[in-house]
Structure 1
Amino acid sequence: MSEKVNSVDRLINVIERIGEAKSPIAASDIIFESGIPKPTCHRLLQQLEEANYVQLDERGHFYPGSQMLSIALDVRLTNQHKLQRQAILHGLSRKLEETCGLALANDDPSPHMVYYDRIQTNWPLQIVIPVGFPTPLWASASGKLFLSTLTPPQLRRVLSKLELSQCAKNTIVDNQSLKKELNTIQRRGYSVDDEEFIDGMVAIALPLYDQFGHFMAALFCHCPKSRKSVTELENYLPILRIAQQSLEAVYQDMKLSADRKDD
């Protein structure tokens, strides 16, 4: 039992070092600050990376992954920030007259996106995807958006865990076509789903980044194709980008408030 507790303590210590760092931190610094033996620390970091709790930047330094950010959002968002976030989503949904929300990446048991928050439209005809519902990375606007933010090594690891099955009539089911789509998403800064996840549904998604420029969540809007086409959703990009910036500002304020509380 004491050995198990010691392992948990070490894991928490590593997570704290990464979570408290003001910028991506090197493994050598984590080892020095935590006092954890080098082989053990590298093993813990590898496990955390595989579970998407931490990610690597281009220098090989560690920063919080989507799983850690998801927990941080759940734990640290105060009622005030929740109200601000929902007010932005309500306003966006009213302007677009469609369902809008946020999606987070999740790696348990396999990589997928999860609807974290959602404001449902009032149209009689609507597509209802509940909060917490897993959506495929390769076949959804938010999922493809997340994949487009990964480094080549990260993308290879994630794709190795996925079976690109056919979800709807336009689902991308081969790696080369998917990588071409991800390059397009990187270039234009947003992602679309044209009946790739569900037949008759279209969607658009924009990224939310933290203060270090790392992907935090996807802001999405989806609707029946009979009501709006992908092109019509793209016409709302100016409005979506205002909401994107507002939501990022809420997160920045939340992070600053939490830092002041910690101090």
Structure 2
Amino acid sequence: MEHTQTYDGSTDPDQGNSGSADPSSGEGRLVGSDRVLAVLKQLARYPDGVGLEELTRVIGSPKPTVHRALGALRRAGLADQDVRGRYLLGDEFLRMAFAHHEARPDHVRLRPLLQTLAVRFGETAHYAVLDGREVVYRAKVDPPTGAVRLTSTVGGRNPAHATGVGKVLLAHELDTLDAVRQWIGGTPLERRTPRTPCTAGELHRALETTRQRGYAVDDQENETGVNCLALPVYATSPTSPSGAVSVSALTYRTPLRSLVDAVDEIRAALGPLSAPHRPVRPRTP
């Protein structure tokens, strides 16, 4: 599930190209380049376009300043306006995004592997990296057949603690209960389903099991009706994973037990990108 971030700010005079919020008006207020980038990010959530009134409401800035931000984006080719007067991402933005994505080394190297896994299991295969408390999906391949598919997207995010790819990467970062507690900090972990590990103790036990197995599972912990098995990928270092590959399946179609039984096959498909299965200890400072 994706969450829309709302930006707050009751007054918003132009501040040139300042990239930070005015400290006198509170943290939530956006000025200058921050406002322009906030508008750009919101446009990505509306592939069919969005009107100025709705965009103003979501951003939380006055209409004239949102309109000026849209003007700057349109002049750069990063936004456009259709015949209905609705705003959407511009062709230049899409050109840059697709060109960059196609040229990324992880996309080029891993897409054939993901295609193999998607065909083999008839389910969705992902490659994701860890970014703080979340995982970011860098590549995705859907199965060639099947009427029901996952809604995940390249560039989409999910909580690391609730996903197989997140847990397999956190297992290499957080080796003790204290480390897990420090990682959680003062912000409680989101409970996506009744099975999500949300306490430090629950997550620590899950990471210990992951280290012993050499793989992680998501047993309907991020989304009810979806499970997955994830393995680390060593694309840049033999000791530290650059990311993780997962096979994500609908539970009624591919039970978790079927994925676990095929873990050696999945590991073999990774080839040189997979480290030998052994109980691993995470990195130490």
TM-score range, shorter chain: 0.5 to 0.7
- So what's the TM-score if we normalise by structure 1? 0.59
Instruction: Give, in whole Å, the separation in 1 of the partners of 2:182 and 2:267.
Output: 30
Name the residue aligned to 1:117.
Answer: 139
- So what's the TM-score if we normalise by structure 2? 0.55
2:258 equivalent to 1:236: no
Give deviations 1:48-68, integer Å, cap 9, x for gaps. Answer: xxxxxxxxxxxxxxxxxxxxx
2:157 equivalent to 1:146: no
Instruction: Give, in whole Å, the separation in 2 of the partners of 1:214 and 1:77.
Output: 24
For 1:133, which of 156, 172, 179 is the aligned residue? 156
- How many residue pairs align between the two structures? 173
Note the C-alpha offset of 1:130.
0.8
Name the residue aligned to 2:125.
Answer: 100
Distance 1:242 1:104, change over 3 A: same
AA aligned to 2:111 is Q
Q: Which runs of 5+ in 1 are unaligned?
A: 1-73, 250-263
Note the C-alpha offset of 1:155.
3.8
Give deviations 1:196-245, integer Å, cap 9, x for gaps. Answer: 00011101100012334012101111011111111111122122102222
Distance 1:157 1:224, change over 3 A: same
Give deviations 1:172-214, integer Å, cap 9, x for gaps. Answer: 1211121111100000000001110001110110001233401
Note the C-alpha offset of 1:116.
0.7
2:209 equivalent to 1:184: yes
Q: How does 1:25-64 map to 2 (within 5 A)?
A: none
Note the C-alpha offset of 1:139.
0.8
What is the RMSD of the two structures over their aligned residues, measured on CA atoms? 2.6
Moved over 3 A (4+): 74-84, 151-157, 246-249
Note the C-alpha offset of 1:75.
7.7
Distance 1:81 1:116, change over 3 A: closer
Larger RCO (CA under 8 A, 6+ residues apart): 1
Name the residue aligned to 1:245.
Answer: 271
Instruction: Give, in whole Å, the separation in 2 of the partners of 1:207 and 1:175.
Output: 22
Counterpart of 1:100 in 2: which secondary structure?
A: strand
Instruction: Give, in whole Å, the separation in 1 of the partners of 2:250 and 2:101.
Output: 34
- Taking every aligned residue pair, what percent have the same amino acid on both sides? 23
Name the residue aligned to 2:75.
Answer: none
Counterpart of 1:138 in 2: which secondary structure?
A: helix
Instruction: Give, in whole Å, the separation in 2 of the partners of 1:191 and 1:147.
Output: 10
2:218, 2:227 within 8 Å by CA — same for their partners in 1? yes
